Amino acid sequence: MGRVTATDRRAVLLATAGLALTAGCASSSGAVAHPVRSPSAAAPALPALPAQLTHGPRDRPRVALTFHGAGDPATARTLLTEAEKYGARVTVLAVGTWLDAHPDLARRILDGGHDLGNHTLRHLDINAMSETDAAAEITGCAERLKRLTGSIGTWFRPSRTPVATPLVTRLAQEAGYPHVLSYDVDSLDFTSPGAPVVARKVLSEIREGSVVSLHFGYADTIAALPVVLEELDRRGLAAVTTTELFS
């Protein structure tokens, strides 16, 4: 095993919180308690963080808005531009087939200072798939990200589930993603309940360290985002990339 990374008080607290959240996942706790950096991993493991992350530090005024990257490319561009108007940075977990259809969006996302990650190749129920098929879903998207941007990205989010099984978590790690990115606030924007409902759901649950699940491709999200960003600004919560949230 490689060297054990240094921990600080915050990291220890985070790991403790993460362990509690992932207690039902029956995943190996050794890697959680004593994280190591894998020299072969494309993305470096973050010190003392669990394999599956639902939120960042609760003691700093920062949040991460994370988007399912699929659907109408025009709404994606509108949402990115809107976020940038407010000085916000977001995280896009892109579906591989969406990148095939709109390859220019990969660069657009990175050029805006946002994070770009992996949301599987076809957005199927990855937790229900065979090991071979699930691995292909992860590596298929990773290959596209690498081809388009030179990197597989840091973050992986499983498709059609907020939480990955231990098998999918292991497959993600083998593909080069040390951490699976879940979330603690679900906007439910994909159910099209109306923009006010989306904004209210997010703003009633978001707090320091929150990771919010949002989607490209829905009109409600476009209308809700400025409301959310204005209120975050009023509360002094900065919308940062997932990488920054956990750094």
Q: Which stretch binds Zn ion (CB under 5 A): 67-75, 96-104, 109-117, 227-235?
A: 67-75
17 or 185, CB closer to Zn ion? Answer: 185
C-alpha 84/C-alpha 64 separation (Å) is 14
Q: Which is nearer to Zn ion, 156 or 246 (CB)?
A: 156
> Which position among 62, 68, 89, 179 is part of the footprint of Zn ion (CB under 5 A)?
68
H-only helix segments in the chain: 9-21, 30-33, 73-85, 96-101, 104-111, 131-149, 166-174, 195-205, 219-235, 242-245
Residue among 95, 94, 89 at smallest CA distance from 65:
89
- Per CB under 5 A, 201 contacts Zn ion: no
Site string for Zn ion, 146-165 (x = CB under 5 A): --------------------
Window of 38-46, 66-74, 161-169, 196-204 that interacts with Zn ion by CB under 5 A: 66-74
d(CA 53, CA 234): 27
Nearer to Zn ion, 190 or 246 (CB): 190
Q: Which of 87, 85, 81 is nearest to 109 (CA)?
A: 81
How many residues interact with Zn ion (rule CB under 5 A)?
1
> CB of residue 218 vs Zn ion: minimum separation in angstroms?
12
In 3-state terms, what secondary structure has residue 116? strand
Q: CB under 5 A: which stretch of 54-62, 68-76, 105-113, 206-214 binds Zn ion?
A: 68-76
What span, in angstroms and rounded, lies between the C-alpha atoms of 205 and 144?
A: 34
Residue 68 vs 144, nearer CB to Zn ion: 68
